Amino acid sequence: MDVKSFLRTHRDGLAVLLSVLFLLGCSFSIWRSASSFDENFATLQPAGSAKAPAPPEKALEIDNAMAKLRQPPHWTFAGRSGLFVPEKHFIGANGLPTTLETTEVHPPVPNEWLDQFALPIADADVLTQDPDEDGYNNLEEWQNHTNPTDKDSHPPFLVRLKMKSFTREPFRLVFAFTTGDTFGVNTSDLKAPTQFLRLGDMIVGTKFKLTNFTEKYEKNQYGTD
């Protein structure tokens, strides 16, 4: 078989073989170029000085700024009213809306005192509340200039004493006359006989005793003694 006949018979196989050899050559060339890329690229870079590190204080400022950026934003508010936090309103004694700036919500206690100790000014019974549970309500704490949120700061116990009852009774005894060292004592309703007593004697029917006598004069309606 001559060469022409061989090539004609195995034409397809030879084409595949040549393609494989071509691809192998290309792959080898690409691998060789890639392996020497870093070395060749380094030789092309201009020589220069290394970048100086940032000063420590600058680096600290950058770290703080980055930390703030990572934190979620928060609305801050330092007053009683604003764009997003409206001022508190209350219904006053006249039935009309009022604010802390214009009305004393719980007289006689000032709004500033309630706000100073963070007491619930919106509660109707705030003056009778006892947040520190020391036995004294907020009104008593304000009246005695004590701290309503500190159990060790409270009014004196004397302020808790209250009058339970009150009865008015007229004094029934009347000094009638004196003769020497003898004194006459009557009752205002004249239902008991006159008692003739001396200093040191007990007045019958009472717990009183004659211990001293001082003579005094007072003009009557006619201007005489």
Which tens digits make up the pLDDT trace of 159-189?
778 788 888 888 888 888 888 899 999 988 8
Query: Which parts of 115-181 are beta strand (E)?
Result: 173-179
Decide if 54 is inside a domain.
no
Decide if 219 is inside a domain.
no
- The pLDDT confidence band at residue 57, using thresholds 50, 70 and 90, is low
Q: Which of 163, 181, 201 is the last residue of a domain?
A: 163
119 and 138 co-located in one domain: yes
Q: Which domain holds residue 116?
A: 88-163
Question: How do residues 63-94 score in pLDDT, each as one tens digit?
Answer: 888 887 777 665 554 444 444 445 666 666 56
CB 177 within 8 A of CB 197: no
Q: Which residue bears the tokens 């934003």? A: 73
Decide if 14 is inside a domain.
no
Decide if 196 is inside a domain.
yes
94 and 125 co-located in one domain: yes
191 and 147 co-located in one domain: no
Report whether pLDDT(225) > 70: no
CA distance 106 to 123: 10
Question: What local confidence, expressed as pLDDT, does residue 157 receive?
Answer: 84
Which residues are CB-contacts of 14 (< 8 A; sequence separation ≥ 6)? 7
100 and 141 co-located in one domain: yes
Integer CA distances (angstroms), 193 to 136, 178, 181, in order: 54, 16, 19
138 and 105 co-located in one domain: yes
100 and 157 co-located in one domain: yes
Decide if 138 is inside a domain.
yes
Q: Which residue bears the tokens 């339970």? A: 164
CA distance 148 to 145: 9
Decide if 66 is inside a domain.
no
Decide if 154 is inside a domain.
yes
159 and 182 co-located in one domain: no
CA distance 185 to 175: 5
Provide the pairing of β-strand 182-187 with 97-99.
unpaired
The sign of the dihedral angle between the CA atoms of 164, 165, 171, 172 is negative
142 and 176 co-located in one domain: no
117 and 148 co-located in one domain: yes
96 and 130 co-located in one domain: yes
- Residues constituting the chain: 225
Question: What local confidence, expressed as pLDDT, does residue 60 receive?
Answer: 79
Decide if 126 is inside a domain.
yes
Q: Which of 124, 144, 163 is the last residue of a domain?
A: 163
179 and 124 co-located in one domain: no
Q: Which of 147, 163, 179 is the last residue of a domain?
A: 163
Report whether pLDDT(203) > 50: yes
153 and 121 co-located in one domain: yes
Task: Tally the domains of the chain.
Answer: 2
% of the chain with per-residue pLDDT over 70: 72
Which residues are CB-contacts of 100 (< 8 A; sequence separation ≥ 6)? 80, 87, 88, 90, 111, 115, 121
